[in-house]
Amino acid sequence: MKKSRLLLILSLLVFVFSCKEEESLTNKPGTYSSKDIFVIEQGVSSAEMVISNITHLIQLAIDDEQVLYNNGIVYPIITKEKENESQISPYPMILTIDFGTDTTQGYDNRYRCGKIIANISSHWKDSLSLIDADVQNYYMATHSPNETNVENQVIVTGCNSNLRLKIRNVGEKSCFDFNTYPTQQIITDSAHFSTPLGDITLSTRRLTYYYGGFDTPDYKDDKTYNTLFSGGTASDKKDDNWHWYSEMVGQTNEGLEYFAYNRNCFWLVSGNLKLNYTDIKTQRKRTKIIDFGRFDQTNCDNIASYLTNGLNIVFNLP
């Protein structure tokens, strides 16, 4: 009898500590993620957001670089060089987007620094065009890193990145809805992202389907579906480490099977991502569905969310 009671007490303690671990993710019950705790869902989503943003910046610099200048700001400094001085065409091109070493506010009110150097074989809309981008200490954030008067609910979501990104136009490809669209393949074999509270390593294979606006010169009507498979490691400042992989949801009752990035929006706007991760120390496994918003939403907010213990945890994208 005593042994049974002891086992019951131990079981209850394990349950309580498990719940405490989950509850520590929030600073407002069921609402916002904590500013003081590394959240792997937020770290992985931030890394995916950075990849979308780098692709978008390169396309803007090619097509309409003036969009990147706002209110007479100095940065970025954009240079376009022919790969060979004797060539008549502007392509192949070496494109450099330099945001400097001090973090400054940009055209979309984000704060940036760092450099993107891209070797471009031909215009990105040309079939088989290849962009090989070297991303060096590229940092972007929703608020200035020097800002001190930030509400508790608003997280200064900053993300610094170093990676090599290959962006290839692979022509018309069939999408999950059985239609064909102009498609980009985006690959990185080894990327590193650091946030104020933790780090993410990532390799990814993704396809971006342009289901609207691809044939017009105006980028604001471009609409995309994105499907991906990514994986890597995560670590926080407390020596906690995880293996993770993300993929599109597999069943309709899990959510949308893609996430969307409209180029007139500054953030991913809709869709879901399934994140699976394992605590290296405890081998505890978890699966979360990260929700970027309903497919029919029209606002371009910078938030995403996931459910844990019945609570909806909301966090900011960079």
Distance CA 269, CA 253 (A): 20
The angle subtended at Cα 220 by Cα 80 and Cα 214, nearest 5°, is 75
Distance CA 162, CA 60 (A): 20
Distance CA 300, CA 292 (A): 10
Q: What is the pLDDT of residue 12?
A: 36
Q: What is the pLDDT of residue 253?
A: 80
Q: Write the burial class of residue 148 (CB in 10 Å: 0-12 exposed, 13-18 middle, 19+ buried).
A: exposed
Q: What is the pLDDT of residue 145?
A: 57
For residue 307, what are the CA distances in angstroms to 46, 84, 95, 128?
Answer: 18, 53, 41, 40
Among candidate residues 58, 269, 245, the one with its CA nearest the CA of residue 169: 58
CA quadruple 202, 203, 209, 215: dihedral positive or negative?
positive
Distance CA 293, CA 299 (A): 10
Check residue 261 and report its DSSP letter. Answer: -
Q: How many Cβ atoms from other residues are within 10 Å of residue 109's Cβ?
A: 10
**pTM score, two decimals?**
0.85
Distance CA 207, CA 171 (A): 11
Among candidate residues 56, 46, 47, 42, the one with its CA nearest the CA of residue 223: 56
- Domain boundary assignment for the chain: 30-316
Read off the tokens for 76. 């970025």
Among candidate residues 134, 137, 53, the one with its CA nearest the CA of residue 102: 137
Q: What is the pLDDT along the chain (318 residues), one digit of tens a residue?
A: 444 444 433 343 333 333 333 333 333 444 555 567 788 999 999 999 899 999 999 999 999 998 888 666 788 999 999 999 888 999 999 999 999 998 888 888 888 999 999 999 999 999 999 999 999 999 998 866 555 544 444 445 678 999 999 999 999 999 988 999 999 999 999 999 998 889 999 999 999 999 999 999 898 899 999 999 999 999 998 899 999 999 988 767 888 888 888 888 888 888 999 999 999 999 999 999 999 988 777 778 888 899 988 888 888 888
Q: What is the pLDDT of residue 260?
A: 87
Read off the tokens for 252. 């309709």
Q: What is the pLDDT of residue 20?
A: 33
Among candidate residues 25, 4, 2, the one with its CA nearest the CA of residue 310: 25
Q: What is the pLDDT of residue 23?
A: 33
